[in-house]
Structures are given as structure tokens and as C-alpha cells.
Amino acid sequence: MTQTEAFDAVQIISIKRDKGTLTPEQIDWTIDAYTRGAIADEQMAALNMAILLNGMDRAEISRWTAAMIASGERMDFSSLRRPDGGTKATADKHSTGGVGDKITLPLAPLVAVFGVAVPQLSGRGLGHTGGTLDKLEAIPGWRANLGNQEILAQLQDVGAVICAAGAGLAPADKKLYALRDVTGTVEAIPLIASSIMSKKIAEGTGSLVLDVKVGSGAFMKDEAGARELAETMVALGKDAGVKTVALLTNMATPLGLTAGNAIEVEESVEVLAGGGPEDVVELTIRLAEEMLESAGVRDADPAAALKDGRAMDVWNRMIEAQGGDPRAALPVAKESEVIPAPADGVLVELDALSVGVAAWRLGAGRARKEDTVQAGAGVRMHAKPGALVRAGEPLLTLLSDTPEKFGRAKEALEGAVVIAPEGSRPAQRLIIDRIS
């Protein structure tokens, strides 16, 4: 028997085409009908384009997000307990993606040190942006897929989990995301914001810190667009009762000195051991402070927890709980090629997008979701903007199991490096702004 529909797709499309406002009932029906298959892909593609061109107001975006959440299950962490018997606070972080962005790896165990549970549901990389799960799968034995009860048990016992999101969370978003990817509507801020926040709210965390990247290696290239996205997501979080703040952070140059999978794990472990690149440490500590503040933890000292080994202890337990061996040797690329500095001077630019594309072409990323990645592939950077370099000294090292990939990777790096006379402009600040 055919279901009688409350609305029809052409009517909904026409409203947004003509810059109208959808009612809550129309939005609920649209998401439900598309998830059920009652709205065809070509119709939803037309609606997505109308949204891209004409936008949505805050009430529409909030209801669209709520409808996507309602398409699936919601996780519940109220059973997590502190030692005194009270409910354990939860906090999560989401990054909009960048190059060398391994911050989740040291951040989750660092926040867990202070008794806050961190349910970090993460994804895989696509194109030039790396994926947290791809990085962690470089660790022998580690597994990304956990059931809800396993997630709860690990949060209670260890305090932190990094794993794949289950298929039951916001299934409408999975369909919409795939459609946006092939119809030129990925850039629509209402659709980006609702996609991210539907999954994060359905995940059930009590507080959320957003790391919204700005620059060539980020999804949002300009500060105005990144700020609009951040403000929209913060508003969606508040509408759903999730304490939400956002940091705008610089992605003009890669984070840290590595872009890849195993080499980013290696760098993350250096941070957990009290070392590591300054920018990775700075952002890890700042995000930890924001997460702890949002979860109601005052007077915590994340920097001390990195230095004294407490965060490393949680990391080891977290990796072991998911079948990994934190002390096992990480995969190493079979081949390498060094790119020397072309001149003496100050490195003033190392373009994040170029480095990300080079790492992708070396085998660290994928062009399609079904592609495999090389654990050892990537790019090592021997200097960051602001550093003095000398002609002929190593500037970048390319890593791959397939040396025939070096040529295309080097093409991606043409024009990525700018060296100027000593005394040239310093590197840009890492943290641009805070939005709450």
C-alpha cells in the first residue's frame, strides 16, 4: 500500500527556489521522505542547490538538524559514573579538517586525565584532508569499529574512545552527504553545519568544542566563511542544549611537521611524551582547556598532564582497549626522497593544500571512500614558517611504498614554498578567534 504523503517534493523545492521559508512540518517531512526514498535524489539535489543559493534562517537550520538527528538513534551516556557516584561529564571535539591535523590523538586521552569522558566518533580521510581513523589504523591491531556497549564500557573504564560512528547515527546525513558530494552543493553552510552537528548531537555528548579551520588547507578558505560556519554550528549546539564553543584556527600551513598516517601517530606520541612541535602542543592544550571548561572542570593543568606522563598512560590504555599495541613499531615507507631548500633565508610560506595533495598522491589519502591508504606514506617537514633555512639542506622528505608516485607529489609542491631574506614577516598566529 502506497503511503499518503503530507507534502510533495516539487512544492518544497519551489519554496526555497523562490527564497521562501520552510515550516517545521515541511522540513520534518522532507528529511523523513528522503531517508525513506519517497523523495528522489534528483529532487533532493534541486533542493540542496536552492538552499546553497538562497540560504536558510536559523530556525530552519535548527529544525533541519533536529530532523536529521531524529532519522536515527541517539547515544546516551547518563550511565557513566564518577568515583563519587555522580554522572560523569562528557566532552567532544570536532575539527572541520586540515593537513597534519592529528590533534584528536593526544587530546582525547589528555582530557580524560581529568575525569571527563571523551566519546570521539571520528572519520576517514578523503582527498587532501587526513582522517583520524586512518592514522590510528597504522597501529598494529587497533580497531575502529565498536558497538555502543563497547563504547560505554571503554568510556567508563578508560575515559576516552576514538572510533567510527555507527550506521545508526543520523542516517539521513549519510544519504545527504553523498548526494552533496556529487552535485556541487558541499559548500552550502546550512548543509555543512547541519551535517556536522546532527552527528555530534546524536552522539550524546554534553559539551562540544569546534575547531574550525581557515586557510588554503581547510575546507573554508576565507575567515568570513569560516566565521559564519562556526557561528551557525555554535547556535545549533545551543538550540539542542549542548554547550558549544568554537575556535577559528589557522590552516594556511600544515599542523606540526608531518602529514600522513603512521608519521602523524609518531608525532602525537611525541606530544604525549612531553615534546612535539610547538603548534601541535599549543592547540592540543588550548582545546583541552576549552573542553574541560565546557564540562565544568576548573583549575585543570593540561600542560602538566602532558609533561608528567598521565596523558600517555591514558593513551596506552585507550589503544590497548581497542586491540592495539601502543609499543609496537609503526609502519615505515619503503622509499623516500628529500626535497632540499632552494635558497638561504626565512621560510615564510609552506602551503597546507599543496602539502596535503602531495601526501595524498604519495598514498596517504584516498580519492574515493573505497580506496586503501598506505600507512607509511606522507610528507615530513623539516622547517616551519618563520624558521631560517639554508640552500641544499633538507626541507621536505617524501615517503611512499611506490616511488613512481614521487613525480606527481613533487608537482603538487611546485610554488608551495616561499623563502625570503632574513628579517621577513613572521608566521601567522595559530588561534584566530573564539566564538561562543
What residue ranges define each of the domains in the chain, with the CATH number in brackets?
Answer: 9-55 (no CATH), 91-322 (3.40.1030.10), 335-420 (3.90.1170.30)
What is the phi-psi region of residue 291: left when phi exceeds 0, alpha when psi lies from -120 to 50, beta otherwise? alpha
pLDDT at 317: 98
Distance CA(270)–CA(163), nearest Å, equals: 22
Banded model confidence at residue 20, pLDDT cuts 50, 70, 90: very high
168-183 mean pLDDT: 88
For residues 200-228, one letter each, b for 16 or more C-beta atoms within 10 angstroms of the residue's C-beta and e for the rest, the string is: bbbbbbbbbbbbbbbbbbbbbeeeebbbb
pLDDT at 75: 93
Residue 287 has pLDDT above 60, yes or no: yes
Distance CA(401)–CA(236), nearest Å, equals: 44
183-193 mean pLDDT: 90
Contact predicate 113/140, CB 8 Å: no
Banded model confidence at residue 321, pLDDT cuts 50, 70, 90: very high
DSSP designation for 344: S
pLDDT at 184: 86
Banded model confidence at residue 2, pLDDT cuts 50, 70, 90: low
Residue 369 has pLDDT above 80, yes or no: no
Coil/strand/helix, residue 44: helix
52-77 mean pLDDT: 96
Residue 13 has pLDDT above 60, yes or no: yes
Banded model confidence at residue 174, pLDDT cuts 50, 70, 90: confident
95-118 mean pLDDT: 96
Banded model confidence at residue 383, pLDDT cuts 50, 70, 90: very high
Distance CA(415)–CA(403), nearest Å, equals: 22
Given 199, 200, 286, 361, the catalytic residue: 199
200-218 mean pLDDT: 95
Contact predicate 301/293, CB 8 Å: no
* pTM, full prediction: 0.94
For the chain, how many helices (H) and strands (E)? 16, 13
Q: Which of 298, 405, 318, 419 is nearest to 362 (CA)?
A: 405
Alpha helix locations (H) across 158-277? 171-181, 189-202, 223-239, 262-272
Known catalytic residue: 199? yes
Known catalytic residue: 78? no
Q: What is the dihedral of CA 76, 107, 83, 151, to 10 degrees?
A: 40
Up-side HSE of residue 138: CA atoms within 13 Å toward CB? 30
16-39 mean pLDDT: 96
Q: Cα angle at 195 between 56 and 191, to 5 degrees?
A: 30
Distance CA(422)–CA(424), nearest Å, equals: 6
pLDDT at 426: 65
Residue 123 has pLDDT above 90, yes or no: no
341-360 mean pLDDT: 95
Given 28, 32, 101, 173, the catalytic residue: 173
Known catalytic residue: 180? yes
Phi, psi angle pair for 396, to nearest 5°: -135, 145
Residue 428 has pLDDT above 50, yes or no: yes
The percent of residues in the chain predicted with pLDDT above 90, rounded, is 86
Given 195, 198, 216, 354, the catalytic residue: 195
135-147 mean pLDDT: 96
pLDDT at 3: 65
Q: Which residues pair with 209 in a beta bridge?
A: 93, 245
Known catalytic residue: 317? no
Residue 143 has pLDDT above 60, yes or no: yes
Contact predicate 172/76, CB 8 Å: no
pLDDT at 171: 92
pLDDT at 1: 36
226-244 mean pLDDT: 96
- Supply the angle between the helices 58-70 and 189-202 in degrees, to the nearest 10: 40
186-195 mean pLDDT: 92
DSSP designation for 134: H
Given 16, 94, 102, 310, the catalytic residue: 94
pLDDT at 302: 98
Q: Which residues are CB-contacts of 93 (< 8 A; sequence separation ≥ 6)?
A: 103, 104, 107, 108, 118, 120, 208, 209, 210, 211, 287, 291
Residue 127 has pLDDT above 80, yes or no: no
Banded model confidence at residue 182, pLDDT cuts 50, 70, 90: confident
Coil/strand/helix, residue 37: coil
Strands (E), 266-311: none
Given 180, 286, 361, 405, the catalytic residue: 180
300-315 mean pLDDT: 97
Distance CA(320)–CA(377), nearest Å, equals: 24
Choose between 301 and 370: higher pLDDT. Answer: 301
